[in-house]
Each structure stands twice: as structure tokens, then as C-alpha cells.
Amino acid sequence: MELHELQPMTTAPAVGSGGIPLRVAFWTLGCRLNQYDTEGMKTTMAGLYDIEVVDWHAPAQLYVLNSCTVTAKADQECRRLARQVKRRHPASKVVVVGCYAQTQPEALTAIAEIDGVVGNTAKDDVQRWLPDVLGAGVPPLEVEEFAADPVFDSPLIDEFSGRSRAFVKIQDGCNLRCTYCLIWRARGPGRSRTPADVTAQLQRLVDKGYPETILAGIHLGGYGRDLPETRLLPDLLDECLARFPELRIRLSSIHPNEVTPRLLAFFRDNPRMRPHLHISLQSGSDGVLKRMKRPYRSDRAWAAMRQAAATVPHFGLGADIIVGFPGETDAEFEDTRRMVAELPFSYLHVFRFSRRPGTAAAEMPDQVHPDVITRRSAVLRALADRKQAEFARDLVGTTREAVVEAEAAETGWRQATTDNYLTVLVPDGNQQPGALVRIEITDYRDGRLHGTVHEQLNGNRFAETGE
């Protein structure tokens, strides 16, 4: 069957029930929202065509690369993957969708190995662009500007392929326009999912047996401000916790100024809220934060993180830090280093400043020399490693809830993610991915926590469904 002979169907027959299914492979770069969007494309595509989703490295007729453009490295990786898969399978079609496609479509259409470029404004509209990608005509370029006041629109998904915990996109876009960031262009204005749609999505995932979900957004703390009847993030949490009495809920990244007493009360008062926050911090220097156009200053960040860490014992606290922002002096870097040293972080993500064309920061004077950025990054990473080890050692002898994830690299062990977001190795017993367990953390050696499973708290969804 030629690719252009494949026709959309109102309902998709079971794979292999007749004809030849379209073999499709997906690769996702970047954030949790991208991972959710990939699952949305799979769901939509399966409703239109008879498809078989295969591994990215397997032969396929169509390869869909969901791109990220947070850094120049992410752009480079997207181009590398597209060229690599086309070399392996020259007769296949390769389409790049998502953030890189939205912000730099010309760069991608110039690459001969790419057969279609679809931005965030169109990637959910599979019926619109897929026939053109599969056809023999001019490769499609589906990139439009976002509407001034867009409405949240995303398909419901039934599962997260190969994952033990599910992500739910409850918010998209951003209105802040930080000077180093392209995401406001890539994702458009901030917009929120209605509470009814959020709970409908959660219901599907709960029915599939997922024990934990992560509520995610580009600007998660801004959830609900655009809805006709304003429902802020704490209001949504109230509804979700009441509606799903067994579900564990985790939040993705949030800004320091959005860590409020009402939000922290959920972690203190409800054990089903995972005791963990990831803070979009970026710097501990007021001068750098001002040049970044971040909506807070360092004193607010200090207070928010101290309050979060004190909410319950062993509260997991992570943060993003950008090193080498234009004009960052030794004194400004020291402000950040001191904040990291004195606050009880359990981990840290350290990023080198990436000069993104189209951002205000790319044109700022006093760009920091790469060698200086390298030295400063090494200082913060070494400090973060030490603090992560200290946090992990303090957990030895405690009992935590965790979700079993996958087999570990070490034979005879599985990985589990604790409620406060640490990885623990547990003996490979009967627990399968997706098992919610209670574990005792027994020791910390060779940079890894180890523990034993005391109790399984949910049914095994893989065993029950025969997966």
C-alpha cells in the first residue's frame, strides 16, 4: 500500500483487523506538556486511522518528532534526530511538530530530510495535516500565529505509553515574556483548562489504574485566571482531591511568588498531595531577576522555599537555575550560590544561559564568557550534588509511599519514585510498573537509595489488564 492511499476513517478498526496499519513512531523532546501532547496526537491519530505505534528505532512509515526550543541544544537535537531517522529509513516520512516548528519554521523547512513542519497551533489537528504529510505533494507547513485570546483545546487521552505515572496538562501558554525565553511565542498566551475537562481527563486515567498524576502547565501557578468564572489552582486541587479519593497528586514547576499559604496547606493537611515542589527560580540575585523580567525578587523566593520545606518533614524541594545570564557579575552569582547553599534543596537543575535569537537577552550587552559560565555551573552542580546526598541520607530509616517505575540498570532491582521525588532501588519482586507501594528506605550507597517494599497499596494495573 502506498502512503497516499491511506484514507481517514470515522472509527479506527483494531490494528491488524484488516488492511495494512500505518506504522507510526513518536519521539518527544522537552517538557511534560510535550509528553502529554504526544499522547494526544496518538489518541487523535488512532481515532482517524488504523495505526500501529512502534518504537522510534523500528521501521515505520511515519516519524513524528515533537520538538522543544528552550535551548539551542534542544534545537540541535531535533535536527540531529530528524536527519538520523531519515538516513535509516529514507522512504519514510518525517514531520517535526511543536515548539521549534512554531518559532523557527524556516530553519526546519530548509532541511531536506524533513517532510512536514507543524506548529503548536495545528499539531492537535491531525486530520488537517497528516494527509498532506503522507501524500506525494508539497510538504506541508502548518504554522500560524496564535489568536490574541485563545481557548484551551487539547484532546482527552486514555493512557501514557510506557509510563507508571500520568501527566495532565491543565494550563498552556504564558503571558510573562521573560527576556531569555521563547516559550510565549512557542506556546502562545496563557490559557487554562476548565475544571470539568480536567476532572474528565483524570477520570480516564484513574479508570486505567494510574495511582499518581502530575498536574502540569507552562505557567501552572497562573491557572484559572483567564476562565470566565475564576478558579485558581487551589480551587482546582480542592475539587480533584474530593472527586478522586485514592489519587495521589503532584504539581509540576511553579514560581516562588505563587507558593502561597493556601497552597502549602494542601501539602500539610492532605497526605495524597505529594510533598514536593519544583520551583522555577532561575537566580538568587535581584539584579539578574530584574534583567530577566521575573515577577518576583530574591526575598520572596527565600521566603517561599523556606516555608515549603518546613511544611512537612523531608519535603522535596527542587529548582531551576540559569547560570551566566548577561551581565551576571561575580557578586550576583554569589547571591545565587549562597541561596543554594543555605536553602534545603533536595536537587537542582542547572542550565547554562542559552542565547536564543528573538529574545531580548540575546541582544543584551555584557554577555558572560563561556569559560566563566562553565566554572560557575560546576560550582553549583557540585553544591547541588552534595545537598542531594545529604537529603537522601536523612531519609534512611524512614518509610515512604512510592510508585514502582521500571527495572533498574542493576540486575535484581527496580526503580521507584518516592512521594517526595527521590529514586529508590527496591528488590525486583512481584511489583510491576504502576504499583503504589510503601517502602522502608534502608541505606544510601554509591549515590543511590535502597529500600524494601512493605506493602502494595493498589492493584496491579498491568496485571489486571494483561499488558
Q: Each residue of 213-235: pLDDT tens digit?
A: 999 999 999 999 999 888 899 99
Domain annotation for the chain: domains and CATH numbers: 3-142 (3.40.50.12160), 166-394 (3.80.30.20), 396-465 (2.40.50.140)
Percent share of the chain, pLDDT over 90:
80
Between CA 225 and CA 192 the distance in angstroms is: 8
pLDDT in the model for residue 237:
97
Reduced to 3 states, what is the DSSP secondary structure of residue 366? coil
For the stretch 375-405, pLDDT in tens is 999 999 999 999 999 999 999 999 999 999 8
Q: Using a CB cutoff of 8 Å and minimum separation of 24, what contacts does 310-314 make?
A: 311/264, 311/267, 311/268, 311/275, 312/267, 312/268, 312/275, 314/275, 314/391, 314/394, 314/395, 314/398, 314/400, 314/420
CA 424 to chain centre: 21
Q: Cell 527542587 maps to which residue? A: 318
Q: Which residues pair with 168 in a beta bridge?
A: 215
Between CA 300 and CA 289 the distance in angstroms is: 12
pLDDT in the model for residue 118:
96
More confident residue, 14 or 371: 371
pLDDT in the model for residue 71:
86
For the stretch 131-163, pLDDT in tens is 989 887 777 899 999 998 889 989 999 888 778
Asked if the model's pLDDT at residue 267 lies above 90, the reply is yes
Residue type, 84: Q
Q: Cell 485570546 maps to which residue? A: 149
Between CA 298 and CA 284 the distance in angstroms is: 5
The CA–CA distances, whole Å, from 459 to 172, 180, 432, 433, 456 equal 33, 45, 10, 11, 8
pLDDT in the model for residue 19:
64
Helix, strand, coil percentages for the chain (3-state, nearest 5): 35, 25, 40
The CA–CA distances, whole Å, from 349 to 32, 68, 334, 352, 419 equal 15, 17, 17, 10, 19
Q: Cell 551576571 maps to which residue? A: 328
Asked if the model's pLDDT at residue 2 lies above 70, the reply is no
Residue 411: exposed, middle, or buried by beta-carbon count in 10 A (0-12, 13-18, 19+)? exposed
pLDDT in the model for residue 195:
96
97: how many CB neighbours lie within 10 A of its CB? 28
Burial string for 29-63 (b: 16+ CB within 10 Å, else e) reads bbbbbbbbbbbbbbbbbbbbbbbbbbeeeeebbbb
**Mean pLDDT, rounded, for 55-70:** 95
What is the DSSP secondary-structure string of 90-120? TTSEEEEEEHHHHH-HHHHHT-TT--EEEET
Between CA 31 and CA 172 the distance in angstroms is: 12
pLDDT in the model for residue 408:
82
Q: Nearest CA to 70 among 181, 190, 217, 218? A: 181
Look up residue 268 and give its three cell numbers.
500539610
Between CA 392 and CA 394 the distance in angstroms is: 5
In degrees, rounded to 5, the angle at the alpha carbon of residue 101 between the alpha carbons of residues 98 and 103 is: 105
For the stretch 408-464, pLDDT in tens is 888 889 999 999 999 999 998 878 889 999 999 999 999 999 999 999 988 655 434
More confident residue, 127 or 465: 127
Q: Nearest CA to 3 among 81, 95, 85? A: 95
Between CA 454 and CA 398 the distance in angstroms is: 12
In degrees, rounded to 5, the angle at the alpha carbon of residue 217 between the alpha carbons of residues 392 and 386 is: 20
- What band does 16 get if pLDDT is binned at 50, 70 and 90? very low
For the stretch 285-343, pLDDT in tens is 999 999 999 999 999 999 999 999 999 999 999 999 999 999 999 999 999 999 999 99
Phi, psi dihedral angles at 168 (to 5 degrees): -125, 120
**Mean pLDDT, rounded, for 241-254:** 96
Q: Give the contacts of 122 (CB within 8 A, at least 6 positions apart).
A: 128, 129, 142, 143, 144
Reduced to 3 states, what is the DSSP secondary structure of residue 208? coil
Between CA 174 and CA 151 the distance in angstroms is: 13
Q: Give the contacts of 347 (CB within 8 A, at least 6 positions apart).
A: 316, 318, 384, 387, 388, 391, 421
Yes or no: say if 133 and 92 are a contact pair by the CB < 8 Å rule.
Answer: no
Asked if the model's pLDDT at residue 9 lies above 70, the reply is no
pLDDT in the model for residue 459:
65
pLDDT in the model for residue 72:
86
Q: Nearest CA to 305 among 263, 247, 345? A: 345
- In what order do the strands lie in the sheet containing 349-352? 276-282, 316-323, 349-352
- pTM of the predicted model as reported, rounded to 2 decimal places: 0.90
**Mean pLDDT, rounded, for 205-210:** 93
Yes or no: say if 56 and 88 are a contact pair by the CB < 8 Å rule.
Answer: no
Q: Give the contacts of 100 (CB within 8 A, at least 6 positions apart).
A: 67, 68, 69, 74, 75, 78, 108, 186
Between CA 289 and CA 283 the distance in angstroms is: 6
